[in-house]
Structure formats: C-alpha cells, structure tokens
Amino acid sequence: MVEMASIGKLSKWSRSSAWLSAFGILSVVGLCAISALMLWQMRWDTARKAEITSRSLVQVLSRDIDRNIDLYNIALRTVIEGIQRPEVMDAAPQLRHMLLFDRITTAPGFGYILVLDQNGNVIANSQTLGPTSINVADREYFQYFAANADDNLHVSAPVISRVSGQWMLTLSRRISNAEGAFQGVVTGGIYLSYFHSLFSSVDVNNPGTVTLSGPGGTIVMREPYEPKQIGTSISQTVSYESIVEMKSGSFTGPAMLGTGDRLFVFTQIQDLPLYLSVALPLHDIYAGWWWKALALGFVVLALSATIIALIWRLGRELFHRTQAEQITAALNIELNKLATTDALTGLFNRRQFDISLSKEWRRAVRNQHQLSLLILDADYFKGFNDRYGHQKGDEALQLIARSIEAAIDRSHDIACRIGGEEFAVVLPDTDPAGAIVVAERIRMSVLGWKVPHAVNPHALLTISGGLAHILETNVVDPTTLIAAADQALYEAKAGGRNQVRASANNSSPSIG
C-alpha cells in the first residue's frame, strides 16, 4: 500500500511537473514569438521608414527640378514664338530683348538663353543687347537638331559653358521655318550650382547619396558633393540600368559609385533623360535596429537554452501564418484592382462605370443633387491605329486618360474607359456649366499634346464629347442619361469633331 501510494505520489508529481513544464515552455514560447515578431516588425518598419523618407525626398527634389525645367521650356518656346513674329523682331532692341528673354529671369539657377542661326553663330543673347561672337556648331545639341527634325525639348550632358565658364545643364529646342527646315537652335542653361544648393538644403541628415544623372548616364550633380564626379558616366552599372528600365520605384542593388548594397528610391524627370535617385547604405538603415535586436535577443535567450527549439518552431509558425495572411490580403487587393481597373489606362473599367453611375444616380435622385455625365471619344481612332500602329494607339489612349485625370477632381469625380477609344466621366454635384468647363479642359489638354494624326482633318489627335445632365427629379433610370450623352456625342461627331456638345433635351424630366 505504501509502495502503491509512493508510486501514485510520484506519478502525481510527474504529471504536475509535465503540466508545469508545458506551461513554462508555452510561456517562454509565447514570449519568444512576440519578441521575434517585434524584431521582424521593427526591421520592416525601419526599412519602410527609410524608403518613405527617401521617397519624400525624391518627390520634393523632383518637383522643384520639374518646375524649373518647365519654366525654361516655356521660356525657350516663348523665344521661338517671338523670333517667328515680325512685330517682335522689328521692335527696338531693348524692347525686343525684354519680350524674348524676360520670362526666364525669375527661374532658379538661371544661366542664359542663346539664339543660334543654322551655322551655330550666336545671334541673340539674354545677357546682353549687343552681338556675341561665339560659334557653338560643335556642341552636341546643335549637331543633334541639325540632323533631326525634333520639336521636343532636348537635354544634353553637363558641359562647361563658353559664355560663363561654369558647369551647366543645357536645355535646347529646334528652330524650324514654315516648311520644317532647320533654322537654328534656342538653348539655355541651368547652373549646376542650383542642383548643388537644392540637394544640400533639403535634408542635411540624409545618410545616403542623392544623384541626378543626365543623358548617357553622366552625373549632373551628386550629394555629398564631389566636383570630380561631375560628368562621370555610370551608364554601365547594374543599378543605373535598372533605374532606366523601371523609370520610377525602389529596389536594392549594388552602389553605382563605391561598394556595398544600397536601397535605391528613384524617379524620372518628366520624359527627359534625367533620373533622380536617393541611395541608402543597408548597414546605415539597419544599424539602430541591430542594437535593439541584440539587446532583446539576449533577454529572451537568457530565459532557457533548453527550450529554444520549441520557441523557434512556434515563432516559425507565427511567421508563416503572418506571411500567408499578408499574401492573401495582397492577392485580394490585386484581384479587386483587376476587377475594377482598365489595365491600359489605369482608369476604372466599364463594370465599375456601371456600378458608379448607378450609385451616383440613386444618390442624386434621393438627395435632389446635380449629376452630369460626359462621354468622350477619340476622333478617327481606327484611322490612327491603321496609320501608326496599335502601340501608338495605346499610347494615345494613355495620353487621353492622363488628360482626363488632370482635368477632374479625382477625390470626387469618376473617370472610366468604357470602350476601345471611348471614355466616360461621372461628375457628381456638377451643373452643366461646370461640366462643360471640365470637358473643355480635357479636350484642350488632349489637343495640347500635339500628337500627329494624319487621318484627322485637324492633323492632330483630338476628342469629341457629349454631355448630359440630370435635373432634380425622382427618375431612377441612368440609361436615359447615357443615351442623352451618346446622342450629344453623335452631334459633336456630326458637327466636325474636336468639340463638346451638351444634350439638347433640356425639357426632359430626367436630363437637362
């Protein structure tokens, strides 16, 4: 009996020890799992914070550079327009100089503007009223325009100016006569000191490098600043090739100058061969995280070396579960995006258009609010595809989409691609007058791209639009609104295209 009681007592203690051991193991496993998750989240947060900070820096810098280039581009266009106007060229020298060159004087980093004849001789200089005996026929931009009928803004690799003796980024445009023959070049320069001041003033605590590269992968400016690096080519580096291929975004890759891996965040400046990048060394990103990781790891490992295997197994399970949830969430987001977005233009698709219009119609009827519908269609688009190919056709549709996005309030209005070359814009709380303003902005924006369209009588890519509007009413059938907008579009097409027509059915109880 005593032996049996002892055995029973030992068995009881064994069971208690097992339960206590299990409880202790589970407690430590839970602590280790939480610690592991915290470390992983801290590392992810560290990398994410570094990327967000770099992305903000790239946005600030690129917007400033983009705005400055736009000012120069406008100035170069103004000079070309002035040269082609007899009343400007016949004006007094001082007045002519002011009309041609006054616009650019307020631009940051302003250098100068030169007007060159077809032989490369300077015939006008923004810095002086008198003649300038300089010939720049050997410059890359002059030779480029002499050989190419390109009316776009041209950016050249940085050079030392023959006028000022300073490093400059050269911007230029071609001067053509009425027949399109080469008549010269208008060129301007931005001092590289502007970029140096801009880069060094935005974030003095930035641990990485900020690089602006130009044509051919030449370095225009780099912070921290090293004068010997200006004009150096990085075109053969793996990371630069990735930047050019991706245009904008982020990735981890080898340094373009120096050694080690970097986190690159970058963007292209407009459609120009200018790429702005911020590169952060990975060891700098994770330096603080490593100290926290070591401290927390030491505390957790000090609890018990005998249960680390169990802790690792539970931590691994939690990690896989978290990873699976993240993958599932990402797939759900992607599936929802694919179901509602047009892949080519990034606008909403026809399915989302039907849903949104029905929703806004019901809301307008219920709350007695305004609702306008604009339907747009690219003019002679089949002829455009036949003449220039479907790739150019896709690019034209993307330009139309960008024009729509630029003209509407994206937090309020709804832009959709509802057919091959047909678009729709739902304008809640918008009266006909306001809708006409939006439509005209879109039409003029598309026209402003100046995309050649030989089949179109207007010689450029244009759109036509039809507008319909719902009055304060209880009618709950949006198809009448679509039909009215389609009819107005038909009238715009019949009236010569490149125009917007409003529905004439103003007496209808459902549209105005």
pLDDT, residue 492, reads 94
pLDDT, residue 111, reads 77
Regarding whether 279 and 406 lie in a shared domain, the answer is no
Question: Does residue 15 belong to any structural domain of this protein?
Answer: no
Q: Would you state the structure tokens that stand for residue 277, as one six-digit string?
A: 């990048």
Q: Whole-prediction pTM value?
A: 0.52
For residue 478, the SS3 value is coil
For residue 365, the SS3 value is helix
Per-residue pLDDT 10s for the chain (512 aa) are 444 444 454 454 445 555 656 666 777 777 777 878 887 888 788 888 888 888 988 999 999 999 888 888 888 888 888 888 887 777 777 777 777 777 555 566 777 888 899 999 988 888 777 667 888 899 999 999 999 998 899 999 998 888 778 898 999 999 998 888 999 999 988 899 889 888 888 764 566 899 999 999 999 999 888 889 998 999 999 999 999 999 999 999 999 988 889 999 999 998 999 999 999 998 888 877 778 778 777 777 776 666 555 556 655 665 667 677 777 777 777 777 777 899 899 999 999 999 999 999 988 888 888 899 999 999 999 999 999 999 999 999 999 999 999 999 988 899 999 988 999 999 999 999 999 999 999 999 999 999 999 999 999 999 999 999 986 444 557 888 899 999 999 999 999 999 999 987 543 333 33
Regarding whether 472 and 359 lie in a shared domain, the answer is yes
Q: Would you state the structure tokens that stand for residue 376, as one six-digit string?
A: 């747009």
pLDDT, residue 154, reads 94
For residue 410, the SS3 value is coil
CATH of the domain at 103: 3.30.450.20
Question: Does residue 41 belong to any structural domain of this protein?
Answer: no
Please state, as a whole number, how many other Cβ atoms lie within 10 Å of the Cβ of residue 479. Answer: 10
Amino acid identity of residue 505, one-letter, is N
Question: Does residue 28 belong to any structural domain of this protein?
Answer: no
Q: Would you state the structure tokens that stand for residue 427, as one six-digit string?
A: 């304008």
Question: Does residue 47 belong to any structural domain of this protein?
Answer: no
Regarding whether 394 and 261 lie in a shared domain, the answer is no
Backbone φ, ψ for residue 252 (5° rounding): -110, 130
The whole domain housing 389 covers: 350-502
Question: Does residue 119 belong to any structural domain of this protein?
Answer: yes
- List the end-to-end C-alpha distance of the chain, in Å, as a whole number: 102
Regarding whether 254 and 356 lie in a shared domain, the answer is no
Regarding whether 262 and 368 lie in a shared domain, the answer is no
Nearest CA-CA partner of 111 in 61, 138, 72, 156? 72
Regarding whether 404 and 268 lie in a shared domain, the answer is no
Regarding whether 491 and 356 lie in a shared domain, the answer is yes
DSSP 254-317: E-SSSSSEEEEEEEE-TTSS-EEEEEEEHHHHSHHHHHHHHHHHHHHHTT-GGGHHHHHHHHHH
pLDDT, residue 446, reads 95
pLDDT, residue 466, reads 95
Q: Examine the fold and report which residue of 259, 288, 317 is the final residue of a domain before the chain moves on.
A: 288
Nearest CA-CA partner of 142 in 114, 110, 120? 120
Question: Does residue 509 belong to any structural domain of this protein?
Answer: no
Regarding whether 371 and 278 lie in a shared domain, the answer is no
336 burial via Cβ count (<10 Å: 0-12, 13-18, 19+): exposed
Amino acid identity of residue 355, one-letter, is I
Question: Does residue 185 belong to any structural domain of this protein?
Answer: yes
Regarding whether 404 and 280 lie in a shared domain, the answer is no
Beta partners for residue 277, in sequence order? 211, 266
Domain count, the chain: 2
Question: Does residue 341 belong to any structural domain of this protein?
Answer: no
Element (H, E) at 446: helix 432-448
Calpha distance 487→459 (Å, rounded): 25
Regarding whether 240 and 119 lie in a shared domain, the answer is yes
pLDDT, residue 13, reads 44
CATH of the domain at 404: 3.30.70.270
Regarding whether 258 and 378 lie in a shared domain, the answer is no
pLDDT tens-digit series, residues 243-255: 999 999 999 999 9
CA distances from 248 to 206, 278, 504 (A): 20, 12, 46
Q: Examine the fold and report which residue of 288, 312, 329 is the final residue of a domain before the chain moves on.
A: 288
Regarding whether 357 and 278 lie in a shared domain, the answer is no
